[in-house]
Homo-oligomer: A and B are copies of this chain.
């Protein structure tokens, strides 16, 4: 899909590995016809060369791309544990964000009778409360953990790797999205209380391989007219 979504860490890993890839974005209108032909009814899918195999699951693709790179610097064995620890922490953040994100789309999955609950005044209020609570409780907790990891690594990256690893490819989109201002009730300055996180995101986005890729949020540059 033409969003950052779960594929963005894989795209970033390709960029950092200096490996060319065709980034084919699927339109939501095309998805209905495609879905049943995908292995698990999900995107993204990676097809390599003439291999007819459709590889899927973004986190598996990410590790795979991480090992494709010749010098192994994206996913070095010696820091495998630290990289995996950071990726798992970011998965926890994602899990904590899940209900607040998906609730308005499918309230019946969260114990509500009315599928249109999110359109009611009470429903709108509930979404606002959930998201504000997420920002004040969960996002703050995880940002502090991430500041701890950055401090512990001492290299400027989330794991103690000299250059960015696949953990940074996960961390940057996962954190940056909250600063992009497109999510109702999540203010674009919500990361401001965590200057080390802001500095980290800006530093990653300023890498030659990434520079100019983003046009909103922290590390984004305004589009030239």
How many copies are assembled? 2
Known: A60-B87, A84-B59. A126 touches B98 (CB 8 A): no
Is residue A145 within 8 Å, beta carbon to beta carbon, of the partner chain? yes
- Shortest distance between the CB of A89 and any CB in chain B (Å): 6
- Shortest distance between the CB of A136 and any CB in chain B (Å): 13
Instruction: Decide: B57 and A88 in contact? CB cutoff 8 A.
Output: yes
Is residue A74 within 8 Å, beta carbon to beta carbon, of the partner chain? no
A129 to B117, CA, bound (A): 17
Instruction: Decide: B99 and A84 in contact? CB cutoff 8 A.
Output: no
Known: A98-B95, A98-B98, A145-B40. A111 touches B85 (CB 8 A): no
Instruction: Decide: A57 and B84 in contact? CB cutoff 8 A.
Output: yes
Q: Mark A72-83, 1 if CB is under 8 A from B, else 0.
A: 000001001100
Known: A95-B95, A103-B111, A111-B126. A57 touches B40 (CB 8 A): no
A193 to B151, CA, bound (A): 50
Count contacts on A: residues with CB < 8 A to the other chain: 44
Closest to A111 in B: B126
A214 to B77, CA, bound (A): 34
Q: Mark A118-156, 1 if CB is under 8 A from B, else 0.
A: 000001001101100100000001000100100000000
By a CB distance below 8 angstroms, the chain B residues around A112 are 111-112, 126
Within residues 36 to 72 of chain A, which ones have a CB less than 8 A from any CB in chain B? Answer: 39-42, 55-61, 63-64, 67
